[in-house]
Amino acid sequence: MANCFAPQLTFPAFTPRHFSPRMSHQSPKPSTSTTTSIFTSATKLLWGPSLPPGLLISTARTAWTTVWQLMMTQLAPSDSSGSYTRPTSKFRLDPTQFPSAASSELHLYVGLPCPWAHRTLIVRALKGLNDAVTVSIASPGQDGSWEFKDNNIPIKDKDKLIPSLDKANRCRNLKEVYKSRTGGYDGRGTVPMLWDSRKKEVVCNESYDIIEFFNSGLNELARNANLDLSPPELKEMIQDWNQIVYPKVNNGVYRCGFAQSQEAYDGAVNELFSTLDEIEDHLGSNRYLCGERLTLADVCLFTTLIRFDPVYNNLFKCTKKKLVEYPNLYGYLRDMYQIPGVAATCDISAIMDGYYKTLFPLNASGIQPAISSSGDQESLLRPHNRDLVGEAMEAQLAV
């Protein structure tokens, strides 16, 4: 199932950023240079100019591995082979029984780094539901939970997506919103989450259910009601693509990054890139996954591709190729990015910040690498010529 969860790591002693600056007694704080000098002097006194002895290195490695495995257990549940197993979503929507738009006051909770939440923002934009479904944007907290912040940034465009306070419930974090529902809730606080402000209830926290609902369940409120991203004649093909893309690509990158054994990683990375190879070949003769028509399957693939070179290639060890090395896939990415309304949902800086500075077990230093040229906006706005793909194939078939 597809959503972004809050790992709630509980190891404050392993990173200084968790220490509270408010203490009952505060002594003068030594400068960074002084602290470094003392540490360097002690190191030289104990070991001289050479590296610490093998026993210390071995002990440190064992301790770090143990702590890493403990943190990964909380961050990314795995099976007996060390393969990441994504928890299921708690609140689901029945597509045959969508809630009535007239009796609901819908509010969407998202986080900009999350690919699953990104799906909902794209369909909301494409369908013209920005006025019908208001949104609150949470930020990753230091402990990995989703929290709301006032950035005090003047906003001229009311549809601009930036982290904000909770506009529907005035809660401090997403977990409080979940708890405020009738009957309460102490489970995982995930995004995306669709909330009914009138009933004070969680409508859904499964991303695919939400985008199906946005596509067909709110047409009386949508500015682009005629746009159908899941037409009846393509539903079976969309489902076929979803059964390939979700486990092997969308969740596949996480299975690489969250693998807790070499065997689990090898299996995930090989499956990921063999699938990307297949999609690359398919897009050589099809503008979109289902032919010449944009569908929900494309939306689901896009939110992984836009994060691939900036994040997954490095942080999640998806290193066999960069996306830019796939001509058709990279052109497809640019094609979708340039669809009106889509680029406004993509914040590459927030995406990188959310991954590199939040997933402590994968990036303990918190250092964020420079973005590759393939992932910056200038490159994504280059001509893609994907509109010629279908025409070229039709010409070949006519010969």
Active site residues: 114, 254
Q: CA 294, 131, 206, 170: dihedral to nearest 10 degrees?
A: 150
- Nearest-angstrom CA–CA distance, 82 and 68: 13
335 neighbors 306 (Cβ within 8 angstroms): no
DSSP H or E stretch at residue 186: none
Residues in contact with 293: Cβ distance below 8 Å, sequence separation at least 6, in sequence order: 231, 234
Nearest residue to 166 via CA among 110, 213, 212: 110
107 neighbors 135 (Cβ within 8 angstroms): yes
- 194: which DSSP letter? E
Within 10 angstroms of residue 65's Cβ, the number of other Cβ atoms is: 10
Within 10 angstroms of residue 243's Cβ, the number of other Cβ atoms is: 10
Kindly report whether the peptide bond that precedes residue 247 is cis, defined as omega within 30 degrees of 0: no
CA–CA distance from 284 to each of 272, 306, 396 (Å)?
A: 19, 19, 13
Q: Is 31 exposed, middle or buried (0-12, 13-18, 19+ CB in 10 A)?
A: exposed
- 91: which DSSP letter? S
